[in-house]
């Protein structure tokens, strides 16, 4: 009996070792396609990167770094989303990415779970923008903040949602401040901040955008080219060309040099 038990134990150990070797070899083969797809995504070739991720997942579905990299690319694609008329829509992109994010969010906790959940809210906003109904992005942002109270994406995207809905600007400001306080993705937060403020109906958004630009100047931050152009068009030019009390109020809001 002892001999048989030892033989069985040896066989099981040998089988386990072979399985471990097989897993190591598969992980090694998954490194290259994962890296290639990541590089494409980082370069902004999101659609092509997504195809490469799908191809890699068909072979190496259990490779955790691959799954995580695909989720990261999906989140980035939604943040940087661009569509051309007559071609792919934002909704069609969301329909590709959202199931991946939802699957990841179902198992993730803390910061990772919050990041994924926040981007699910952003996905809902993108679909609403193209005419969908019955979605509540804020519910995702709220769940994200339950996982990580200071999550940068949830705060910035929730602030954007508040501004788009023409809700009180002070509430949006609190979310943007919390996003900046997170210490993550500062350039992303600033970009979202300008987009939201310049979209906001009424002069309060324009004056706040001016204040933010001055705050960035004082802290040595750079306003990106698109935001500078929008600032000139929608703030400086429009306000300086206005007349009477509106122009005077704008001049009074300008920061001292």
pLDDT value at position 176? 96
CA 26, CA 60: separation in Å to the nearest integer? 7
User: Is 153:133 a contact under the CB 8 Å cutoff?
Assistant: no
pLDDT of residue 20: 44
- Asked if 174 contacts 207 with a C-beta cutoff of 8 angstroms, the reply is no
Instruction: Tell me the mean pLDDT in the region 9-27.
Output: 58
From CA 18, how far away is CA 175, in angstroms rounded?
A: 52
Report the candidate in 163, 119, 126, 168 with the shortest Cα–Cα distance to residue 141. Answer: 119
- Burial category of 221 from C-beta neighbours within 10 Å (exposed 0-12, middle 13-18, buried 19 and up): middle
Mean pLDDT over 230-256 rounds to 60
Which residue bears the tokens 């809001």? Answer: 253
CA distance 87 to 135: 24
The predicted structure's pLDDT at residue 89: 94
The answer on pLDDT for 69 being more than 50 is: yes
Burial code of 6-33, b = ≥16 C-beta within 10 A, e = fewer?
eeeeeeeeeeeeeeeeeeeeebeebeeb
Taking the C-alpha atoms of residue 249 and residue 223, their distance in angstroms, rounded to an integer, is 24
Mean pLDDT of the chain: 85
For every residue of 174-200, DSSP letters joined together read HHHHHHHHTTS-HHHHHHHHHHHHHHS
pLDDT at 210: 79
- A 10 A CB-CB count for 90 gives 17
Using CB atoms within 10 Å of the CB of residue 163, give its burial: 0 to 12 exposed, 13 to 18 middle, 19+ buried: buried
Q: What is the CA radius of gyration of the chain?
A: 24
d(CA 144, CA 150) in angstroms, rounded, equals: 9
**pTM for this prediction:** 0.82
* pLDDT tens digits for range 114-129: 999 999 999 999 999 9
Tokens of 56: 């890699």
Q: Contact, 141 vs 158, CB < 8 A?
A: yes
* 175-232 residue pLDDT tens: 999 999 999 999 999 989 988 888 776 667 777 887 888 888 888 998 888 777 777 7
Phi, psi (rounded to 5 degrees) for 88: -65, 145
């Amino acid at each position: 009996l002892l001999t048989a038990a030892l033989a069985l134990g040896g066989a099981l150990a040998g089988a386990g070792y072979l399985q471990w070797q097989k897993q190591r070899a598969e992980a090694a083969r998954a490194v290259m396609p994962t890296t290639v797809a990541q590089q494409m995504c980082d370069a902004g070739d999101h659609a092509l990167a997504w195809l490469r991720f799908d191809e890699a997942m068909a072979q190496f579905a259990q490779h955790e770094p691959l799954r995580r990299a695909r989720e990261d690319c999906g989140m980035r694609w939604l943040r940087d989303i661009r569509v051309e008329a007559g071609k792919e829509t934002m909704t069609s992109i969301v329909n590709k990415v959202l199931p991946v994010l939802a699957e990841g969010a179902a198992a993730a906790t803390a910061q990772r779970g919050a990041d994924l959940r926040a981007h699910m809210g952003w996905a809902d906003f993108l679909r609403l923008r193209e005419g969908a109904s019955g979605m509540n992005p804020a519910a995702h942002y709220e769940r994200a903040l339950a996982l990580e109270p200071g999550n940068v994406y949830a705060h910035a995207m929730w602030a954007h949602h508040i501004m788009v809905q023409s809700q009180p600007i002070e509430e949006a400001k609190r979310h943007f401040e919390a996003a900046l306080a997170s210490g993550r993705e500062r350039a992303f937060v600033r970009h979202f901040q300008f987009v939201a403020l310049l979209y906001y109906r009424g002069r309060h958004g324009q004056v706040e955008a001016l204040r933010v630009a001055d705050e960035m100047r004082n802290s040595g931050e750079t306003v990106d080219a698109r935001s500078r152009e929008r600032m000139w068009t929608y703030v400086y030019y429009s306000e300086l060309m206005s007349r009477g009390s509106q122009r005077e109020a704008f001049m009074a809001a300008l920061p001292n040099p």
